[in-house]
Structure 1
Amino acid sequence: MAKETLSQIDKVWKPELYKIQLEAPTPKPIYCDTSVDQRPNFYDSAYHGIMDHHKSEKILEGKPDGSYLIRRSPGATDYWTLSLRFGRKTKHFKIYYSPDKGHFLRENFKKFDTVHDLVADGLVDFYMRIHAGSIIQQINCQTKNCYEQSPYMTLNRRKLRALSNELRKSSKLSMFNDDMSTTAITGAKADDPLAMITDVSDCGVLPEIYEKNHNFKTHTFKGLNWCEFCANFLWGFTSQGVKCEDCGFVAHVKCSEIVPAKCVPDLKRLRGIFGVDLTTLVTAHKCKIPFIVKKCVEEVERHGMLQEGIYRISGFADEIDALKMTLDKDGEKADMTGLAYSNINVISGVLKLYLRLLPVPLITFHSYSKFMQSMAHKTIGEQVISLRDAMKQLPQAHFNCLKYILEHLNRVASYHAINKMNESNLATVFAPTLIATPQHMTDLSQEINMLTSMITNCNAIFL
């Protein structure tokens, strides 16, 4: 590692934070020495029954920091109250419990298995804010809105530069020469490639065309861990931070909020391909179209274009499930040829299943209204122009895949005299799969009309 890299990390790594955490007060429950009516089975003897804050403050008066009791405030129905001693004062907090989530302060806050863990985490947080305030402020000054200088960039520079180079090459070879290039999507000038691609030969920063949100989940870390964004200690005992399930990036919750959408998925972390976010899959596999989509389309165009009811008639469910498991396990090595699956409806069924299980449909929730508004125009020409604008709302991976699917369905429809699947029939089959329709909606006639127009006019849309 370069000398300047080490010095950058030294400036932000503060081992004092770990020492300060060890000095924080620990939970000290104050048990009730009298019988209590209707004590919840998820609270122990630290529950004191119905009690107002004046009485709880008298019980906790003079007790050391970390002392606490649980009570039911008079008139409370859906919550309990935690009375906690800290800073020589008694603080009161509403707390909630549900069997599937545990104990928590608010719905979007950390969840804990026991009240003891909740109190321990809170005491650490209170103590750190007071005694580590200057360090935390320094962290914020060093990292806020400064992604390129963060240890995450420093420690992952080689990985990021490799992906940047891959994207630059693929962009030059394909994106600028596509029927509808990235220029059409971003609005950048066609004669100015630097408007879309940043030179990364020196700094290793990802090109502007790359965007992939991190898939952050709250995580409980074992042992000593630190944030990969600010390089500082993750304090607490449970749910200390978040971890990206796609690339493994670890961060404080607050740090994760200012990290740009530059997740570089690790293929080793992907559990199969079904149900995986489309952008994550194509980035991990370094491709424009998911291999499963290409393989299925190629097989259908090789053996199914003259098959009556292609995509409408379902294959055997057990064979579709078996192929799904094979694809999840073997990936691109899976055999999908006619020798392995003589029934082409199994292949078409797997393609529909893959698209249906995407967490975000090809026509995304964000772009849905834009696509639907395009049908308000009276002439086909106006609809085509509006649909082109709607396509600009899609993430790059969704745009590429949707274009590939629509062009395939247009070719299938060209044989409708034989396969009995015209544009409207295909749109009826694929509308619930491709479009992010609201769950309560049962009448998809407008969506089918819009998708029919896209299949019919796809060559004009993707000029």
Structure 2
Amino acid sequence: MENLKNIWKPELYRIQVEAPAPKRVICENCPDRPEFYGKEYHGVMGHKEATLLLEGEPNGAFLIRKGNEYNDFYTLTWRFDDKIHHYKLYYDGTHYIKDKRYDTIYDLVADGLITCHMELKAHHILEMINSRASYTESPYVTLNRRKLNTLTKMQQSSNKSSPIISKTEHRTEEAVSKIDLPSPDENPLLTMKYSKPHNFKVHTFKGLNWCELCANFLWGFTAQGVKCEDCGFIAHSKCSERVPNHCVPDLKKLRGVFGIDLTTLLNAHSSTLPFVVKKCVTEIEARGMDSEGIYRVSGFADEIEALKMAFDRDGEAADLSVYSNINVVAGALKLYLRLLPVPLITYEVHPKLVQAIQMKTTVVQVSMLRECLDLLPPAHFNCLQYMVQHLHRVSQHASENKMSAHNLSTVFAPTLVATPPAISDLAAEIRALQTLIEHCALIYHQQH
């Protein structure tokens, strides 16, 4: 399972978070304001006057103007990278830039600022994405290898009863063999008889999503990438050009719940907690609290993978009682949490968490940890609270299970806390999580 540990790449997500936020520069009295602009519209104004208005404003400040009374278009003027920029605007019922459409001018500016910020700060990553993405090492193949193997065996079984192969099938196999990919043993999709191109369409994703080819974040607020309407494969537009013709529509139902952003998943399921977490915690508390080394002792990898498939296939109906080894259930829970693209304690909160645990007294640490938790997205806050309170209950059985708060923190810190790749010593993160577990009643007291 270790090869799945760092499957998602967070760098672009962290860079997007640092992008400047839009700030409207308001004009209260403007009699000829178009109906599709608000108080950010300043009427007829030259670029020099607009530049002066934005000089003292932060990056992200913007206004809308008409360059002169004869123009049949409007101009966006904004401050970015400590410079003033001017852009022609387009509106035909919705605001748009090329194939991206926006309900409001604020949305357009927010997305534009992120795009410019990415081009400025992440150009080296974007260039790497365009040249190095490998399908066989992609999250899609990695996460779904077992499912694809199962699908392949089903197809091979079906082929035995139907030995006649059409000319089209022969051509397809020949085309597949020309793709520069590993052997069928390494890439189960290659053993499939039919080659079908993906039905990619430009898509606006809700919540946070990652490209299933290159594993990098889909940045921006609208039209962040493409999605196959037949199998659900998600990718950057550029990455989609390098995805082989291996669309299997049945996989739409098999994409499951592992490796999906927490907020996105919970919104899709109209839930406050992921059912994987609830079911595993319930099972562990029912029959694993006195199991020596719970969460530290590994379950069998094949059984953990089978349980993962059961969750993906059966959802909340997955039967955990068939796994007599409770370490398999614990392993599946850890795997789910490890595969979250953004860990429960997010990249933004991580430095504040480290700062809090470096305070000299427990009272101050607890107070600052409370403030850290308030900065988490609601989905992360609720799930972390559920897990911390569970781990506290597990630690109360340490005389039997040998898993103290410190031992549990050592196991879970790499999974629950988002840390930059350069950090290898997790001593501060372990101490912070240990404090959360030991003082959870006090820390979550008066929390919403």
State the TM-score, normalized to the length of structure 2: 0.49
Q: Which has the higher contact order (CA 8 A, sep 6+)?
A: 2
